[in-house]
Amino acid sequence: MAVASTSLASQLSGPKSISSYSGLRRSCSKLDHTQSLSLFQHLHSQLRLSSSSRKASRGIVAMAGTGKFFVGGNWKCNGTKDSISKLVSDLNSAKLEADVDVVVAPPFLYIDKVKNSLTDRIEISGQNSWVGKGGAFTGEISVEQLKDIGATWVILDTQKGGMSLEKMISFIGKKAAYALNEGLGVIACIGEKLEEREAGKTFDICFQQLKAFADAVHSWDDIVIAYEPVWAIGTGKVASPEQAQEVHVAVRDWLKKNVSPEVASKTRIIYGGSVNGGNSAELAKKEDIDGFLVGGASLKGPEFATIINSVTAKKVAA
Ligand code: PGA
């Protein structure tokens, strides 16, 4: 897995820059740039109105939602007994800011080992779960098994599994509902592919994926939404803070209109896609970025700690 190590500034200006991916603006195909911008500003101002009092009381000026900052590390299919022992030991000795929920998702094989050696300060997530009660499903892991081993979260990714979007959409909501009913928290991943962004379909795709979750679940109390543009995952092409913020605002607005203003305010919307220790603070400064889902950079304890501690970028003086 590629671990992006360049600074945000150099990524934005270098050959891997994604600042030219302007497709998202084209999602409002009937609007010209000025109209599209004013629509965005309108959404923005509506949302900001509802959160201003909380920001003042907590002295945090860069947070639109009311949820605690959340950082997840998805180790994916990485690690050996040795490298995981080292990672756990680095995480155990890291100094982490208090006001952040921290979760790691080791490969299933190593969850037990990690659970038994990692500080309780960090929770454990599965990287996937079966859609219902366990049984004769080769290669799957059930929610019951995850709970049995001490996991409290599961990552559910709309882009996983090579299924068509339609199939995945009907499946993912059921998975989420089952996991939530059984008491796991769900990290619900949404995000567009590059060709979808370039075709101006970013919002449409994200809203479709959100709807798959919204139609199936009864409560949003234990759901964290991870916006993970597929083109930014493991590629070193991080979304600019503005690109991420733009989608996060749209997601919060969608929740406000389609679920409730309360859910829109309290649901954490985290960003994932080539987040690293060099770009997390700039991303965290954006009001609607409530944390991160980190892949490659979560495999290095000190760098993951830097990303967790980027919550301090939100606490700029009022
Ligand atoms: P990345 O992965 O940080 O390696 O891009 C992100 C993710 O898939 O959660």
Check if 294 has its Cβ closer than 6 Å to any atom of ligand 1: yes
Kindly report, residue by residue over 8-23, the tens digit of the pLDDT.
Answer: 333 333 333 333 333 3
Check if 274 has its Cβ closer than 6 Å to any atom of ligand 1: yes
Q: Which residues contact 202 (CB under 8 A, 6 or more apart)?
A: 23, 24, 27, 192, 196, 229, 247
What pTM was computed for the model? 0.83
The pLDDT-based confidence of 101 (bands split at 50, 70, 90) is very high
Q: What is the pLDDT of residue 160?
A: 65
Dihedral of alpha carbons 304, 210, 235, 185, sign? positive
Shortest CA distance to 307 belongs to which of 288, 291, 285, 289?
Answer: 291
Check if 127 has its Cβ closer than 6 Å to any atom of ligand 1: no
Q: What is the pLDDT of residue 66?
A: 85
Task: Report, as an integer, the average pLDDT of 301-307.
Answer: 98
For ligand 1, atom 2, name the residue with the nearest CA: 295
Kindly report, residue by residue over 34-59, the tens digit of the pLDDT.
Answer: 344 444 444 444 444 344 434 434 45
Residue spans of alpha helices (H) in 182-314: 194-198, 202-216, 241-258, 261-266, 280-284, 301-308
The domain locations on the chain are 13-55, 62-317
Task: Report, as an integer, the average pLDDT of 265-273.
Answer: 97
The owner of tokens 């639109």 is: 64
Q: Which atom of ligand 1 is nearest to the CA of 189?
A: 9
Q: What is the pLDDT of residue 108?
A: 97
Percent of the chain with pLDDT over 70: 78
pLDDT exceeds 80 at position 258:
yes
pLDDT exceeds 70 at position 25:
no
The answer to whether 123 touches 152, Cβ cutoff 8 Å, is yes
| Superfamily of chain region 62-317 | Aldolase class I (3.20.20.70)
For ligand 1, atom 7, name the residue with the nearest CA: 295
Q: What is the pLDDT of residue 65?
A: 84
Task: Report, as an integer, the average pLDDT of 291-299.
Answer: 98
The pLDDT-based confidence of 237 (bands split at 50, 70, 90) is confident
Can you tell me the distance from the alpha carbon of 306 to that of 311, in angstroms, rounded to the nearest whole number? 9
The answer to whether 46 touches 274, Cβ cutoff 8 Å, is no
276 CA to centre of ligand 1 in angstroms = 10
For 167-192, b where at least 16 C-beta lie within 10 A, e where not — what string? Answer: ebbebbbebbbbbbebebbbbbbbbb
Task: Report, as an integer, the average pLDDT of 253-273.
Answer: 97
Shortest CA distance to 46 belongs to which of 189, 253, 272, 271?
Answer: 253
The pLDDT-based confidence of 132 (bands split at 50, 70, 90) is very high
Can you tell me the distance from the alpha carbon of 301 to that of 290, in angstroms, rounded to the nearest whole number? 21
Question: Of residues 316 and 137, which shows the higher confidence score?
Answer: 137
Check if 228 has its Cβ closer than 6 Å to any atom of ligand 1: yes
Q: Which atom of ligand 1 is nearest to the CA of 232?
A: 5
Q: What is the pLDDT of residue 206?
A: 95
Among 58-62, 187-191, 291-295, the minimum mean pLDDT is found in: 58-62
Kindly report, residue by residue over 108-125, the tens digit of the pLDDT.
Answer: 999 999 999 999 999 999
pLDDT exceeds 80 at position 300:
yes
